[in-house]
Amino acid sequence: MKILWAKSDFLHPTTKGGHIRTLETLKRLHRRHQIHYVALDLPEQAGGVERSSEYCARAYPIPHIAPPRSTPRFWMQACAGLFSPLPLAVSRYQSSAMQRQIETLTRAEKFDAIVCDFLFAAPNIPDLAGATLFQHNVEAMIWKRHVEHTASPLRRAYFKSQYERMRRYEGEVCREVKSIIAVSPADAQTMRSDYGVCRVRAVPTGVDLDYFRPPASPACATDLVFLGSMDWMPNIDAVKWFTREVLPLIRQRRPDSSIAIVGRNPPSDIRRLAEQDAHFHVTGTVPDVRPYLWGSAVAIVPLRIGGGTRLKIYESMAARIPVVSTTVGAEGLDVRNGENILLADSAPDFADRCLALLDDAGARARLTNAAWEMIAACYSWEVVARKFEELLT
């Protein structure tokens, strides 16, 4: 097949779950098909265009600036977005230049498939009726959960307006595209029920088992580890909730319990936690997350806000680290509470699950072995890519 793939950014540096999912899928499709990749070339992604040959035959970079959050230009953009029908998360990546490039390509080439990767690329595709939407999250669900978990009336009002715009726009795109590929049966069902679409199927989340396989005897340096981009609001909320509500309960029984927060661009208030607590480590961007997984006893996923599926859970399982998660954190994954993962949604329950594993090496080993057997049987990236390929054709 000849595939036109449109996305709001390039895939390196690979620092987000969506980057990983797209990259691993495209690498395998690239071996069998001709991929033409059109994306915005963002200044913060140095080297992204140069490495695109790893997953496509042709790349078409479109220069674009999406101001980082907490900068004056971002707030100017946010204020202007109050008068736009599009949600800010989408309008930030709207590009007339990218739209013209896609128009030119579709006139000049005969593509067997067009993929809109994430909702954010949708405004740049002139004819959505011929495209397949690869939807990593139900985006409106994320904003709805922001509304539910925000105490500030001003922030709640803003989140509610963005939720309403996102739900309206996401529904319009889902109904317009040729078909939708979701990342879990739960997301697919949500899109069917909320947006009235029927042309939606799901592909599972995958993991590279060999890449995350731990060394023979990894040294445990940290009790708990959280892995995730720290410039994504749901991850920031998760870490703040955990440190405010859960960690004090753990330290009542284990006063020296240590935690590592591993992910790019942590905000200043998260960094300050490390300055105030010798057992709290905030890394920022790291070249390789695996040593932090291998060097920890338990991986935590305390998300209260989110959508799609968390690759970090399967990565932790592949690294043979037991996982404690909220129900939202493990949403859409083929996991079973008490068998291959521990789930808890209240602070006392989450603390108890962490302590149960920290206090019992045998319990950690049983959970770890069951989780590894499950992902090894069903969730290699080659299996995922083949399923994606079937749905695309």
Q: Write the pLDDT tens digit of every residue in 124-166.
A: 999 999 999 999 999 999 889 889 888 888 889 988 999 999 9
**Token pair belonging to 195:** 């947006």
All domains of the chain in start order, with CATH: 2-202 (3.40.50.11720), 209-378 (3.40.50.2000)
Radius of gyration of the chain (CA): 21
Helices (H), the chain: 17-32, 72-81, 88-91, 96-108, 139-148, 153-176, 185-195, 209-212, 233-241, 247-253, 268-276, 290-294, 311-318, 347-358, 361-378, 381-392
Number of Cβ atoms within 10 Å of the Cβ of 275: 9
Is the full-model pTM beyond 0.95? no
Q: Measuring CA to CA, which residue among 295, 293, 296, 299 is closest to residue 354?
A: 299
Q: Measuring CA to CA, which residue among 354, 347, 226 is closest to residue 281?
A: 226
The predicted pLDDT at position 353 comes to: 98
Alpha-carbon span 15 to 234, nearest angstrom: 15
Q: Which portions of the chain are predicted below pLDDT 70?
A: 80-83, 308
Tokens 């695996």 belong to residue: 290
CA distances from 392 to 28, 60, 114, 181 (A): 14, 22, 9, 8
Alpha-carbon span 195 to 185, nearest angstrom: 15
pLDDT in tens, 218-229: 777 899 999 999
Tokens 């029984």 belong to residue: 253
Number of Cβ atoms within 10 Å of the Cβ of 82: 9
Alpha carbon dihedral 379, 383, 387, 388, in 10-degree steps, equals 90
The predicted pLDDT at position 158 comes to: 87
Q: What is the mean pLDDT of the chain?
A: 92
The predicted pLDDT at position 81 comes to: 67
| Torsions phi, psi for 304 (to 5 deg) | -110, -15
The predicted pLDDT at position 274 comes to: 87
